[in-house]
């Protein structure tokens, strides 16, 4: 069967391009990247979010963030097949461009903003359209999922949430600790997303969402991106596609079939779900889903849910 159109809300290829300047996104000749243009095309991709992740070893300033954005412009957007997504109108126009793949920037960890809303506004002008306040640890804005203290949003964190709402930057809760998650839900006036998180009831990892969190996020109109990170998929020594399906089923049990998407975390992982090591293998997940769900719903999981959300909630342009 021909691959369905696919949207993915999280990959870390920009981090790898930062670490190794010899790598190429537009070629597929070194097998050192999970996400490349040829693999996206083979998968039937129509949209990919590119995370701006600053490695722990680097300074927490704007400098590495800007270096990564520069790489996005020079190594991703250099391909005429990649279309920069900044507005709802861009999403609608993408539908009229056969073969085009939308590319959106997301900030994974706001450490480098150092609490200054002006830095956020600069990133918005450069095209950043989604933001998670933390990675796994604590910073000036909030505590991350692996921070033992488990603190909520700080005063500056709340101010950044409000500025994201005003600008039209989507807020991502995937790396927040539980208390910060609930603070975000209460402070944000717009629907939030979990770009790459699974169900804690099926895999008790702190990066996953509890049933109550999933229900609350869905009730607010947000999206959940099921991820292929093995340790978020299964508590066992390995994870397979059947384990991914269990998380999808759980979200659907809560009425989330029209608010479910995928956030692979490709290029941000060293281990893989069996049979899902790069976008070119997503046909296996597609086949497994079609064995359980109608075609229209599988297409919604893979693309339509995410695209409809973006068309509605990105700034108009």
Q: To the nearest 5 percent, what fractions of the chain are helix, strand and coil?
A: 40, 15, 45
SS (H, E, C) 189-223: CCCCEECCCCECCCCCCCCCECHHHHHHHHHCCCE
Dist CA 159 CA 148 (whole Å): 24
Would you state the pLDDT for residue 121?
98
Q: What was the pLDDT predicted at 103?
A: 98
Question: What is residue 29's predicted lDDT score, i.e. its pLDDT?
Answer: 67
Identify the CA nearest to 44 among candidates 305, 308, 303: 303
Residue 219 vs residues 174, 175, 210, 254, 259: alpha-carbon distances, Å: 17, 20, 14, 10, 10
Tell me the pTM.
0.97
Q: Which two tokens stand for residue 254?
A: 């809560």
With a CB cutoff of 8 Å and minimum separation 6, the contacts of 276 are 228, 241, 244, 264, 282, 284, 285
pLDDT tens-digit profile, the chain (317 residues): 789 999 999 999 999 999 999 999 998 866 899 999 999 999 999 999 999 999 989 999 999 999 999 999 999 999 999 999 999 999 999 988 999 999 999 999 999 999 999 999 999 999 999 999 999 999 999 999 999 999 999 999 999 999 999 999 999 999 999 999 999 999 999 999 999 999 999 999 999 999 999 999 999 999 999 999 999 999 998 999 999 999 999 999 999 999 999 999 999 999 999 999 999 999 999 999 999 999 999 999 999 999 999 999 999 87
- Assign 266 to helix, strand or coil: strand
In this predicted structure, what is the pLDDT of residue 95? 87
Residues 158 and 155: their CA atoms lie apart, in Å, by 5
In this prediction, residue 30 carries a pLDDT of 67
């Amino acid at each position: 069967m021909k691959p369905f159109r696919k949207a993915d809300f999280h990959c870390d290829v920009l981090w790898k391009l930062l670490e190794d300047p010899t790598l190429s996104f537009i070629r597929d000749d070194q097998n050192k990247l999970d996400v490349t243009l040829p693999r996206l095309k083979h998968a039937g991709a129509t949209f990919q979010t590119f995370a701006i992740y600053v490695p722990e070893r680097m300074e927490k300033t704007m400098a590495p963030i800007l270096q990564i954005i520069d790489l996005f412009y020079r190594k991703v957007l250099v391909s005429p097949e990649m279309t920069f997504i900044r507005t709802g109108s861009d999403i609608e126009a993408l539908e009229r461009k056969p073969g085009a793949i939308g590319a959106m920037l997301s900030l994974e960890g706001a450490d480098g903003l150092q609490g200054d809303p002006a830095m956020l506004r600069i990133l918005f002008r450069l095209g950043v359209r989604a933001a998670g306040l933390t990675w796994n640890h604590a910073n000036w804005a909030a505590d991350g999922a692996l921070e033992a203290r488990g603190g909520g949003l700080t005063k500056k964190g709340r101010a950044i949430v409000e500025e994201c709402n005003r600008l039209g930057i989507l807020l991502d809760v995937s790396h927040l600790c539980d208390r910060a998650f609930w603070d975000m839900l209460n402070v944000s006036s717009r629907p939030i997303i979990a770009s790459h998180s699974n169900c804690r009831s099926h895999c008790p990892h702190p990066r996953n969402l509890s049933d109550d969190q999933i229900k609350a996020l869905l009730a607010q109109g947000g999206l959940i991106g099921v991820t292929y990170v093995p340790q978020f998929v299964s508590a066992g020594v390995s994870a397979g596609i059947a384990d991914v399906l269990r998380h999808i089923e759980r979200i659907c049990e809560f009425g989330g079939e029209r608010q479910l998407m995928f956030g692979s975390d490709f290029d941000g992982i060293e281990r893989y779900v069996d049979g899902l090591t790069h976008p070119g293998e997503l046909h296996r997940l597609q086949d497994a889903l079609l064995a359980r769900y109608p075609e229209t719903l599988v297409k919604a999981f893979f693309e339509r849910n995410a695209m409809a959300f973006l068309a509605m909630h990105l700034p108009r342009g």
